[in-house]
Each structure stands twice: as structure tokens, then as C-alpha cells.
Amino acid sequence: MDCRLHLVLFFFCVHLICLSTQQETRFVYNGFDQANLYIDGNARIVPGGLLQLTNTTELQKGHAFFEQPFNFDPSSSSLSFYTHFVCALVPPKLGGVGGHGIVFVVSPSMDLSHAYATQYLGVFSNPINGTSSSSTPHLLAIELDTVKTVEFNELEKPHVGIDVNSPISLESALPSYFNNVSRKNISIDLLSGEPIQVWVDYDGSFLNVTLAPIESEKPNQPLISRSINLSDIFQEKMYVGFSASTGNMLSNHYILGWSFSKSKELLPSLDISKLPQVPLPKESKKKLSPLYIGLVVLLVITVSMVLGGMYWYRRKKYAEVKEWWEKEYGPHRFSYKSLYKATNGFLRDRRVGKGGFGEVYKGTLPGGRDIAVKRLSHDAEQGMKQFVAEVVTMGNLQHRNLVPLLGYCRRKGELLLVSEYMPNGSLDQYLFHDENTSPSWFQRISIIKDIASALSYLHTGTKRVVLHRDIKSSNVMLDSEFNGRLGDFGMAKFHDHGANLSATAAVGTIGYMAPELITMGTSMKTDVYAFGAFLLEVTCGRRPVEPELPVRKQYLVKWVFECWKQACLLETRDSRLGAEFISAEVEMVLKLGLLCTNAMPESRPSMGQVVQYLNRDLPLPDFLPSNPGIGAFMPVSVEALSAIGVPSLRNSSVSMFVTHTILDGHGR
């Protein structure tokens, strides 16, 4: 019984011994919570299993050894060993400087207390003759060194080296790993704070050191491969462990996991997913977050500015001015957006006319109807109500020789008038610009009659008197059948029959403006004067004032009058008429022109009479060149106009001053 118990105990003990000897050939730690480690110096095991060799206190060293030695007796066992560990070097400021580094040590003793803390990574004390005179001979160290030791001619940057008995490396290299995919060496920043994998393999003749970032497999090319005979260095019992130190430069030195084996095949693999977390420096987190917040804020601001800008741009693009009183004109009001779309965004190619007042664009409404949009600039909000009221009233005017006004739109500083599009453009183009399409006399007299009829309607045919105030060939439009139609009511003025109009401002185009305009203001007679100038313009094929011509011919009224006095009236007719005209009719129209441009307003006929003369319902009254006021074109009035701010340059040009005056006149 006793004997059997002893036997069992004996076998149990043998088993234990076998176990312990087996344990001595290999181990693995995925974190060091239950590890059998000998620890000294600054080293400690952080709750969670992280092995911290040093913290960021100056002049510290820390050591950690596996408690049991390994047998390296060359006679009984191989010298080979294989190890794989994961470490992290975390300086106080990420990406900044740190020191000094971590060393994997194979040493005959766990006591490295003699080593300098300030230098040599907490392993060596004598820099030059490591073995012979030192108390710790037989040392192998694999260093991850992050400072340059000037006296050893070490590599400039953080480096990896193999040291035997001396801090002077036998072999060193800049940290990098071979990437199998890109087939390139990729450098590793030792002080990034990221975990780094290190393999140290010794097969008895070659010592290989391999590095890789935590997420990589073991590269199939080592960083350092060095032929080395360690039989004189290794003693029978050797301890394996780590050392780290700080000097003036500081790092937290951590080991996360470690496996070791005497044989390559038995090396246990680390479970990377079970390794403890490395705390990163708080300062750098603080430093990082304002930058991050700043970036986010910047992004948010940029995005909202872009969105806001787009919204604002759209709003601004289509913005209109709308007031409560416009409700009653609703049907006549166009939205700016619809006009914008109709004219392709007021495209230059869509522009069909341009004057001092503004520009005219051709547009197409969604239904396919063609419109002309005139953009007038206006600053005065005052008087707008009345003007819009009148524009709308004008839309209600029905006469076959008026360009139908469809509606309007208001924006800040801008008024848009929408009228029917006249496919054949304005009369002045045919009279002055296009040599080949000069209208025949019969076309001209027909257009003259059309305009006379329209003007007569405006003066007497409606509930209120409408003064056009800007009659000239460029405001006479031609429809598809070449009928004349009076257009552009941008300057028109409304008033009740019989009202006194003396206080209205002088507006119009030079050459068509009656001399009394400045002193007495607008009246039906000033429209008649302009119509007279228009008669002469159409018949003679030239503008009322042409400064380039010889002095004798410069002023059309005067020239026609002079020719009449010399009994050669017909010679003033447009030479492009050829022979196709009725002399009596041309003569009558020229005389009527002179009658209408009489300097004395009371001597001018009314538009009703003009229509009758043109239709030969009434004979032209007898008058002679000697009658007062006839042919008295007064260039003085041009100068007078310039004195009050109207540039006296071109007959066709209408000044901005005029634009203001219309609105002022309305806002009175």
C-alpha cells in the first residue's frame, strides 16, 4: 500500500518535472496579467495586462525577465531560440522626440542594477570593453534605439541593432519592413505610439531581426540577417527579458505580448486580438481634438455657405419687388423667373435692341408665344404705383397699330415691360441700317398712316389722354404683315382730358423734341412735333439731326424748308425711292412735316387733322415759307437741353436723365 502510494507520488513528481522542463522551452503571453515575470526598476504591470517598462519620468530604467532560465549549454542543447513580441514606444507628444528605447536581452543574470540609467538602455555599464572588465559579460541585446549616441557613430534616426556584450551595435538598420504585396520596404516610425511586432530568430548561425506593424503578417524578408556564433557568449543558463530606460528624452515603453521558444516549430503564436490597449498621451489627444473640431467646423461652415450661397443666389436671381397694391394687376404681372426662362436668362443672343433706356430681349413663353421684354432701370420706388397702373391701362388699349403690351414685372432697381414680339423689328433698321431692304414709297406712306392713326387714337380715342413722348422711327415696329405699330411706352404719360400739363418734365429724343418742351412741358402738340420730324425722317431717309453733313443739311427741318423756298422740295426725298412714287403725295407729306414742326405749337395741326390730310379727306391748308414758325429748327434747344443735363450727341440716343425724369414726373 505504502509502496504503491510512493510509486504514484514518484510518477507524479516525474510528471511535474517533465512539465516544468517542458515549460522552460517555450511560453506565450497575450498580456501579462498572470505572467511569471521578474520585474525591477520603473517597470510594472498595468491593470489590463500591459507591461510598462518605463513611464515618462526622467532617468528611469525598468527590467522584466521570464523568471526561469533557459538551457543554452552547447554540449547538451542547441543554441537556437525564436521569439516574437509586440511593443509600443509612446513619447509624451506623439510624433515628437522620445527616449531611449526598448531592448530584448539574453543575459546570464536578471540583475542589471549596475547598468546606467542615463545611457545604454539600462543594460550596459561600460561602453568600450563590455565583456572583459564588466560584471555582466555574455550579453546579447536586440535594441530598438530612439536616440543617437554620438560617441558610437550610431545611425542618425531611431534604429534597430544587434549588440553583443557592448552597446556598440554589430549591425544596425533603419526600422522598416518588407511588404510582400508592393514588394517594397516600408519604413516604420518607432515613436508613432502604434504597436510594433518584432521577431528575433537564431538558428545557431544566423540571427535575423524582423519588424512589422501590428496588422501585418510576418514579412518573408528580415530587416537584419547576420551570421553570428554565439557559442562563446551564451552560458548554460540564460534568462530572456526586456529592458528600457529614459534619460532627458522620455517615452512610455510598453510590451503588449510575448512568445518564446527554443525551437522554431514550437514557437506559440500570439493572439493579436487579445493584446491589451496602449494608452495614448492625453496631451496629444487634446492637441488633436481642436484641430479635428476646427476641421469639422470648417467643413460645416463651408457646406452651409455653399448651400446658403446657392439659396441666396437663386433668391437673388429671381427676386422681385411686389407690393400689396399690385394685387389688382395680378393678371398683368409676370414672374421674373418666367421671363428669365423665356429669354434664356437674358442671353446676349436674345437681345434684339439696345437704347439709352434699357435693352430689349426676345423671349418665348412656355406656350410658344413670342414676347419682347424691355428692361428699364429705375431707382425711384416713388411713383411706381401710378406708373404700373398706367402700364396696365395701356395693356387694355386696343388699336391695330399699337404694339400690344402684355404686362410687367418689377425688381429692385429694374422694371420689365412685356409686349408682343414684332417679327420684323423696328422701322429705323430698314431706313438706315439695311441698304437692300429700303422700303418703297407705298410701304412708307402706309406705315406713316398707321402711326398717325395710332397716335390720334392715343390722343383722343381713349378715356384718358396718352402722350407717347418718344415718337421716332426706332419706336415704330413692323408686324408680320409689315404694318406699322407704335411701340415702346416707356416714356408715355397719361392725363385726363382738359388737364393742364405744364409741369411735366422735358423728355424725348433730340431732333424730335419741340422747342417749347423746356419752357412749357409736354402736350399733345409736342407729340405732333415729333410726328412731323418722323414724317420728314421717313420721306427723306435720314435722321432729323446729322452733325456729319454739311452745315446746310445738318438740320433736316431747316434743309427741307430751304429747299421748299428754292422750289426744289422733291429733291430732299430719299434717293432710294427710285421712280416709284407719287410726287404730289411726297410733296404733301414733306409740307405736312413742316407744318407739324412749326415752332409755334398753336400753329401745328391736331393728330385728327393729320390723319385727315394723309387720307386726303381734307386738303392741306395753304401756307407759305414766309408763315411764322415754319422751318424754324432751333439748334438752341439742343444746347438748352445739354444745359439741363441731356447729352446733345446723337439723335437716336436717349439719356439716362430721361429715365429718371419719367418716374419723377409720375411721382410728382
Ligand X SMILES: *[C@@H]1O[C@H](CO)[C@@H](O)[C@H](O)[C@H]1NC(C)=O
Residues that bind ligand X (CB under 6 A): 42, 55-57, 128-129, 133, 173, 178, 180, 184-185, 201, 203-206, 208, 217, 220-223, 225, 229, 231-232
The whole-angstrom separation of Cα 493 and Cα 652 is 20
Instruction: List CB contacts of 218: < 8 A, sequence separation 6 or more.
Output: 84, 197, 199, 210, 212
Distance in Å, CB of 290 to ligand X, minimum:
24
Identify the three-state secondary structure at position 338: helix
Identify the three-state secondary structure at position 38: strand
Residue 222 C-alpha cell reads as 528580415
Which CB, 202 or 334, lies closer to ligand X? 202
Which CB, 180 or 440, lies closer to ligand X? 180
187 strand-pairing partners: 176
Residue among 167, 155, 157, 154 at smallest CA distance from 118: 167
Distance in Å, CB of 138 to ligand X, minimum:
13
To the question of whether residue 362 is assigned a binding role by annotation, the answer is: no
Distance in Å, CB of 227 to ligand X, minimum:
9
Residue among 486, 476, 600, 614 at smallest CA distance from 537: 476
> Taking a C-beta distance cutoff of 8 angstroms, is the pair 659, 624 a contact?
no
Residue among 591, 397, 364 at smallest CA distance from 486: 397
- Catalytic residue list contains 622: no
Distance in Å, CB of 278 to ligand X, minimum:
15
Neighbours of 236 (CB within 10 A): 14
418 strand-pairing partners: 373, 407
The whole-angstrom separation of Cα 514 and Cα 533 is 10
Q: Which residue is catalytic, options 163, 450, 470, 527?
A: 470
DSSP conformational letter for 217: P
Which CB, 220 or 500, lies closer to ligand X? 220
Distance in Å, CB of 55 to ligand X, minimum:
4
What size, in residues, is the chain?
A: 668
Residue 225 C-alpha cell reads as 540577417
| Helical axes 524-540 vs 607-614, angle rounded to 10° | 30
Please identify the residue of the shown chain whose CB is closest to the bound ligand X. Answer: 129
Which CB, 82 or 512, lies closer to ligand X? 82
Distance in Å, CB of 113 to ligand X, minimum:
15
Residue among 417, 484, 494 at smallest CA distance from 462: 494
Which CB, 232 or 370, lies closer to ligand X? 232
Which CB, 229 or 480, lies closer to ligand X? 229
Reported as type and span, the H/E element at residue 302 is helix 282-318
- Bind-site residues for ATP: 374
- Bind-site residues: 374
The catalytic residues are 470
